[in-house]
Amino acid sequence: MNIIVCVKRVPDSGTRVRVTGDGRGIDTSGVKYVVNPYDEFAVEEAIQIREERGEGQVTALCLGPDEAEEQLRNALAMGADDAVLLEAEPPMDGLTVARELAAELEDRDFDLLLFGKQAIDDDNMQVPPMVAEILGLPCATVVVDLDVEDGRAVARREVEGGHEMVELELPAVVSTQKGLNEPRYADLKGIMAAKKKPLEKKEVELAEASTELLSMREPEEGTDGEIVGEGAEAAPELARRLHEEAKVL
């Protein structure tokens, strides 16, 4: 079974986001980059499927800058077998990313294509179903349980107040959600091994984007909030103000 896992290099979730003076992006100085947290569930799932079956190949694929080699090495250290870096600065436009990944995947032989459900920088949540649509493949998103059998998969996906089951003929696209598994930490042996695993770099030219980032801004600063009081005796005053002033009761 061949599994391809797409990973993205993103700022750590603890990053204090500062928009640059020209409003065209975020200030990346001092930002720590990590593997997108949702992609770790995808990498873990791929490795578990390979381990359970005792055969198969796990390939990590990334569209990102040269530095994204670091995140691909992380995936290799967790246990992926090889990696491909499509070298380009990833645009915010989801369709452009999906088209580029689909162009690479078209000529590749795989049974399962895994993604994290969304990247925590752009929060687009678009690329997995877009790639599936472009390649003409079935797709399940936000998956918390996945059973892969010969030629098919059954995925359980999270929806509001419940779940729905999705049946997929392989090859298929699945995006992973927290709860699917517990991603392993790469141990020293894995980190050493990752240095020797094959990693191919290709420069790519991105197509013109379908959406245009006009500007960015930070959220409006704080509120004129106040402490109503201390302890249980402040509760009646809080309730009164929620009712009469904020009008939310």
Partner 1 sequence: MSDVLAYAELRGSQLRGVARETVTGARRLADELGGDVHVVSVGPPGSGEEVASLADYGADRIFTAEDGEFGAYHPDALVRAFQYLADQEEYAAILFPASARGKDLAPRVAARLGRGLATEITDLEVEDGEPVVTRPTYADKAYARVGFTESPALMSIRPNVFIPEESQGSGEHEELEVDADPVRTRVSPVETSEEGKLDVAEASQVVSGGRGMQGPDNWSLLEDLVDALGPGTALGASRAVVDAGWRPHAEQVGQTGKVVSPNLYVAVGISGAIQHLAGMRTSNVIVAINKDPEAPIFDVADYGIIGDLFEVVPELTEEIRKIRGDGG
Q: Which of 154, 132, 131, 130 is nearest to 143 (CA)?
A: 154
Residue 221, both tokens:
């600063």
Residues 63-102 that bind partner 1 (CB under 8 A): 92-95, 98
The C-alpha atoms of residue 178 and residue 37 are separated, in whole angstroms, by 9
Structural contact between residues 199 and 81, judged by C-beta atoms closer than 8 angstroms? no
From the list 70, 169, 187, 200, which residue makes contact with partner 1 (rule: CB under 8 A)? Answer: 169
The C-alpha atoms of residue 199 and residue 238 are separated, in whole angstroms, by 59
Residue 32 engages partner 1 in binding (rule: CB under 8 A)? no
The C-alpha atoms of residue 10 and residue 119 are separated, in whole angstroms, by 7
Among residues 165 and 192, whose Cβ is nearest to partner 1?
Answer: 165
Q: Give the interface size with partner 1 as a residue count (CB under 8 A).
A: 90
Among residues 9 and 157, whose Cβ is nearest to partner 1?
Answer: 157
Q: Which of 52, 33, 36, 1 is nearest to 183 (CA)?
A: 36
From the list 4, 34, 76, 140, which residue makes contact with partner 1 (rule: CB under 8 A)? Answer: 140
From the list 167, 192, 198, 200, which residue makes contact with partner 1 (rule: CB under 8 A)? Answer: 167
Q: What is the smallest separation between the CB atom of 126 and partner 1, expressed in angstroms?
A: 4
From the list 141, 146, 186, 194, which residue makes contact with partner 1 (rule: CB under 8 A)? Answer: 141
Residue 120 engages partner 1 in binding (rule: CB under 8 A)? yes
Residue 104 engages partner 1 in binding (rule: CB under 8 A)? no
The C-alpha atoms of residue 94 and residue 215 are separated, in whole angstroms, by 17
- Distant-in-sequence contacts of 217-221, Cβ < 8 A, 24+ apart: 217/19, 217/23, 218/17, 218/18, 218/19
Among residues 20 and 195, whose Cβ is nearest to partner 1?
Answer: 20
Residues 6+ apart with CB under 8 A from 148: 1, 49, 112, 170
Q: Which of 121, 120, 127, 124 is nearest to 178 (CA)?
A: 120
From the list 56, 126, 190, 204, which residue makes contact with partner 1 (rule: CB under 8 A)? Answer: 126
Sign of the dihedral defined by the CA atoms of residues 210, 70, 46, 103, in that order: positive
From the list 1, 2, 11, 48, which residue makes contact with partner 1 (rule: CB under 8 A)? Answer: 11
Residue 80, both tokens:
């992926």
Residue 56 engages partner 1 in binding (rule: CB under 8 A)? no
Residue 28 engages partner 1 in binding (rule: CB under 8 A)? no
Residues 178-197 that bind partner 1 (CB under 8 A): 178-179
Among residues 109 and 244, whose Cβ is nearest to partner 1?
Answer: 244
Residue 27 engages partner 1 in binding (rule: CB under 8 A)? no
Residue 52 engages partner 1 in binding (rule: CB under 8 A)? no
Residues 196-235 that bind partner 1 (CB under 8 A): 208-219, 222-235
Among residues 24 and 53, whose Cβ is nearest to partner 1?
Answer: 24
The C-alpha atoms of residue 238 and residue 203 are separated, in whole angstroms, by 59
